[in-house]
Structure 1
């Protein structure tokens, strides 16, 4: 069973261009299923029936999940989102296996996906953005790096993985844009804006040269040791910048992306343009921001209307 899983994962990564994170998630889910199924007498994928898949999903629903970023387990069953991913992985796997002739049928196609609860994305207010993006009081190399990445995150709405991966050759500052490799290995061009370009120029001239060493990679944003900045490190740098700005709530790098989209929409930007800037494959993904602005309108109305 493991060999076919490996073939499928290679197909996802190399032919479908799916992200390493998606491939890793699929690998974990399919590996769990294989380990769960073998004591039940299943040694080949063609032996799997719909009833067995449903039993496994029931097992998944009750499986305690690990707390993100920690080794501890949290109480309670898996979230609906995690169950959704498990079913999606099985459906994608069996679709591939049937198409390639490894199985004669696709029992996973009859698994029903749970309804996903759409959480409204949280963003920052204009005042919080102003405080967070204020020029550093102590402009050492690390603070200049933090300021540049925060400015770019808000100016261009980049994902955390895109910020970590962006390389020097992807900066086209004189032309006013950056090119990024997003989900599905798709490249898109995103404007940067004067403030972000200025912060990046200053970092490249005054900060980055102090961090580089002979083995420094071509990534723009570097760690304290001059290596590629990991997502965890970037998350911590953002958290520390938030504290310095006196913002007393949790702010993640992704919230800057949400703020980028929400503020554009509030100021009249076309939803299709925002979709292209964010790199969303479907307009339905972008439409969640219309609900955010609708909620803001309701809040303003409730606060200021004489008869709310």
Structure 2
């Protein structure tokens, strides 16, 4: 069974254009799965895998303490893997075809209130290069809903600030154009004019956001910065870069944006992915109703 893993990962990288981060995640899930098949179930070929076998594997993950999101991600990898085996003629049936993801996968994403967002955006104080950078990054992230990989990957050539837009490459190399809004545009221009030159040491290439060494800021570097700024703002929730992306989408819908527009801004290929945010707004409305209605 292990002979198929490299073929599948090569297919994902070359033909599907998935990112290294995604490939690493799928690779870990599938390596664990194949070890289970060969060592635990003594499976010798793809057509020996049954739905019951897959369910036992998912049960094993639950027993090891993996949450529903991790198990659902693993099931996505398994589905893609078995579809690939069929398409390439290595198997005749897909044992994952009728399996459902854990229901708790539909748990609502963590979001910040408008006041919490305002506090976070105001946390980087001062006119130093790093403060200017951090304000610009947080403003851009909230104004555009970019993924963190898209944010740190921005190049100077991606910016069209004279017309208030930027370009980004999303999942599977899909390019989209996203408006920045006036506040984020102003903060970004301020950073480019006064902050970035102080960080530039000739090693960052055309990357927009640089670290102290003059190189492009990494995803991990941005996550640490955001966590520190959230603490400075007094936010007690667990905050990640995706929290601002979730908040971006939720606040748009709460203020009347249509779902299709939010889908386009987020770069979702399928609108069903975007629909989770309608549940967020409904849950918030229920809380407001219960808090303020006389018979709530």
Q: TM-score, normalised by structure 2?
A: 0.90
Match of 1:266 among 254, 262, 267: 254
- Equivalent residue of 1:262, what SS? helix
Alpha-carbon distance between aligned partners in 1 of 2:35 and 2:124, rounded to the nearest angstrom: 52
Q: Provide Cα deviations, 1:104-151, integer angstroms capped at 9, x if missing partner.
A: x12424561333321222222222222222384321111111000000
Alpha-carbon distance between aligned partners in 2 of 1:242 and 1:47, rounded to the nearest angstrom: 50
Report how far residue 48 of structure 1 moved: 3.1
Report how far residue 29 of structure 1 moved: 2.0
Match of 2:101 among 111, 114, 122: 114
Q: Provide Cα deviations, 1:236-264, integer angstroms capped at 9, x if missing partner.
A: 11122222333343322212112211211
Equivalent residue number for residue 207 of structure 1: 195
Equivalent residue number for residue 58 of structure 1: 59
Match of 1:234 among 216, 219, 222: 222
* C-alpha contact 1:261 1:289 (8 A) present in aligned 2: yes
Alpha-carbon distance between aligned partners in 1 of 2:127 and 2:278, rounded to the nearest angstrom: 38
Alpha-carbon distance between aligned partners in 2 of 1:305 and 1:40, rounded to the nearest angstrom: 56
- Equivalent residue of 2:78, what SS? helix
Match of 2:126 among 135, 138, 141: 138
Alpha-carbon distance between aligned partners in 1 of 2:172 and 2:238, rounded to the nearest angstrom: 29
Report how far residue 54 of structure 1 moved: 4.2
Q: Provide Cα deviations, 1:173-226, integer angstroms capped at 9, x if missing partner.
A: 111011111122211111001111111111111111111222213221122222
Alpha-carbon distance between aligned partners in 2 of 1:226 and 1:177, rounded to the nearest angstrom: 25
Alpha-carbon distance between aligned partners in 2 of 1:280 and 1:95, rounded to the nearest angstrom: 22
- Equivalent residue of 1:21, what SS? helix
Alpha-carbon distance between aligned partners in 1 of 2:284 and 2:240, rounded to the nearest angstrom: 21
Alpha-carbon distance between aligned partners in 1 of 2:40 and 2:224, rounded to the nearest angstrom: 44
Query: Greater CA deviation, 130-139 or 26-35?
Result: 130-139
Would you say how many aligned residue pairs link Structure 1 and Structure 2?
A: 294
Cα 1:8–1:267 shift into 2, 3 Å? same
Equivalent residue number for residue 48 of structure 2: 48
Equivalent residue number for residue 90 of structure 1: 78
**Alignment of 1:81 onto 2:82:** no
Uncovered stretches (5+) of structure 2, i.e. residues with no partner: none
Cα 1:297–1:60 shift into 2, 3 Å? closer
Equivalent residue number for residue 165 of structure 1: 153
Report how far residue 57 of structure 1 moved: 3.4
Uncovered stretches (5+) of structure 1, i.e. residues with no partner: 65-76
* C-alpha contact 2:123 2:230 (8 A) present in aligned 1: no
Query: Greater CA deviation, 126-135 or 256-265?
Result: 126-135
* C-alpha contact 2:133 2:191 (8 A) present in aligned 1: yes
Equivalent residue number for residue 148 of structure 1: 136
Cα 1:298–1:22 shift into 2, 3 Å? same
- Equivalent residue of 1:133, what SS? helix
